[in-house]
A and B are shown apart, each in its own frame.
Chain A
């Protein structure tokens, strides 16, 4: 009661009409008119503000404008690595009851917070109307479904366990770019060889890219079941296996560039590989778009392979779009979601962004060699959820673990990292 009174007071004082405030639930999720008749503008919130991500978004908007000439697209993008900046802006807007028409979120556990806070419309009906469940892989739909309901439409799928390498640097170090290491230990031996040749063996950037490296070392060392168990409680964080994995991570981290925390985002780390200053960079496959944009050719300029020890595993993350409760233009938002889910939209977007379409009916004939290989892998590999990108655990868990991994970068104390990771898992796990 007190909260409402003061809200009214605040609104009165400012002379603003906070119509959306607190009344979000009353707004119908659509007037019932078909999306094709929607008009007005659709505000879409993303963190695709530059680089290949922006090119992808532009391609998507082009399809959207053709599909729905009566709607105008309002780009509400906020720049910043892995969406960390955007998410805080979004959290503030949602908290204030002022949501965009649709916003980007990583599919999986990251959505859980928004669902718990009752900020998202159930899109199960939308899936049925557009027959989306049949067009998306079952694995993916299962991971999107929470208590029998689906809350988002995935636009693209990414893989986080890919190592990108500079062919020249590998050759100089006496390594064969076509025969990448198959185990973690063999890879560490390769890193040592690169170090001897005088180059930085492994490029990495700030906190979240270190978490991404950490998760893939865990995956490689513990295997699929062990890795999944970390998130559902069946693997003991305090166990000897995890100690061994963290020790491997310590070794791998020892081969990285010392200015990792100063790099502004993932792209400068990948750039080090492109420039021939570093041999390897473990990065999600959005790096492919960067290589392509800069005119590098796979095989001659750069090589890619799954993180050693994770062959046959697809460490997945997906971007998806939602319909927030209280969206100003829900019909327009549904039109946007229809474009996102459509085969044409997915083809246009993913070709530019370097990811693979979630919609299996999308045409992928003219996709790059890497993308074709990823599409094939996704259909046959074991799929696990990425930690660093909010697919495996909720944001609060990820945040605490990220702090621990960031701390480890300074003191490299295996026991401390293991203890705090275990304590965090206990705090947030069920």
Chain B
């Protein structure tokens, strides 16, 4: 009985809206004029055949891979370093975790400036700002690049601020994982003559697997849904270089192409579900055990 209000609220505002969204995605409502003519799955097939949408899916893949790899590597390294008894652990923990407290929109405004594509050796190069200016002034001018203004790899530059913000969070997850491993296990392994590498390979890493999986799921689904950071860094929503399904949905929506926007929404939902549902199944099975 006590659950009823929340069930109704979730039912209406989540599940019914998903159904309604799915219904719109099957119509031909491509302009503001209301239309309820059903066209089956043709919006989906058209979208998947659209090179622009394929490009946005490709961008999404690059973004997710880079974002995941970056946060896992940095998160693990920091956690590993902090796990060793060291002075000022609390201080460094706070420093690494701090970027997470900034909203994507706020940090995006700063990163727009940092990731400016102008380079010092280009016409107008004296106006160069941000990272390119920094690289140039420390003698690493050859490393300047056009960041996100590149149709193939530009999206990877968007992952840089995302990694910067979320690595600390992954670090916190791993740190909790490290602390959860009883000291006796390590000692037992050492007594058995385990080398330090083998200790990690056969004792620590297997114990960290559940943490690793959680981190992959959390970061992975954030990456699939990433929208605000891109909107804040890239001034024009309709910028091809960094188009991902979430931004394309927005462009379609403001162009009153509700059917296509809804179809992209469904595709995104399925993609996120592909990541989250196996995880839920895994955890529920683990709990039963």
- A-side interface residues toward B, CB under 8 Å? 3, 6, 9-10, 13, 81, 84, 87-88, 91, 113-114, 116-119, 195, 198-201, 205-208, 257-259, 261-265, 272, 277-278, 394-396, 398-400, 402-403, 406-407, 409-411
Contact = CB atoms under 8 A, between A and B. Distances in A.
Contacts of A409: 240-241
A261 B12 contact: no
A403 B52 contact: yes
Contact of B124 (A205, A257, A398): A257
Given A88-B250, A261-B149, A261-B241, A81 B52 contact: no
A248 B253 CA distance: 32
Interface class of chain B by DSSP: loop
B33 A117 contact: yes
Nearest to B118: A259
Contacts, number: 136
6 contacts: A3-B20, A116-B32, A117-B31, A117-B33, A200-B124, A396-B256
B52 A407 contact: yes
A119 B122 CA distance: 49
Contact of B31 (A116, A272, A410): A116
Given A113-B31, A394-B31, A396-B255, A257 B118 contact: yes
A258 B128 CA distance: 11
Interface in B71-122: 112, 115-119, 122
Interface stretch (B166-174, B213-221, B231-239): B231-239
A303 B66 CA distance: 48
Contact of B16 (A6, A81, A87, A198): A6
A410 B235 contact: no
A387 B112 CA distance: 28
A259 B114 CA distance: 12
B254 A91 contact: yes
B237 A410 contact: no
B117 A207 contact: no
B248 to A, nearest CB: 8
A262 B33 contact: no
B53 to A, nearest CB: 10
Given A9-B12, A119-B32, A264-B235, A259 B254 contact: no
Given A91-B253, A262-B149, A208 B119 contact: no
Given A113-B31, A259-B118, 20 more contacts: A84-B236, A91-B32, A116-B32, A199-B123, A199-B124, A206-B239, A208-B236, A257-B118, A258-B118, A258-B146, A258-B149, A262-B235, A277-B124, A399-B238, A399-B257, A403-B243, A403-B251, A406-B239, A406-B240, A407-B240
A400 B148 CA distance: 21
Contacts of A200: 123-124
B239 A207 contact: yes
A212 to B, nearest CB: 12
A88 B9 contact: no
A299 to B, nearest CB: 25
Contacts of A261: 117, 148-149, 234-236, 239, 241
Contacts of B122: 258
A198 B235 CA distance: 27
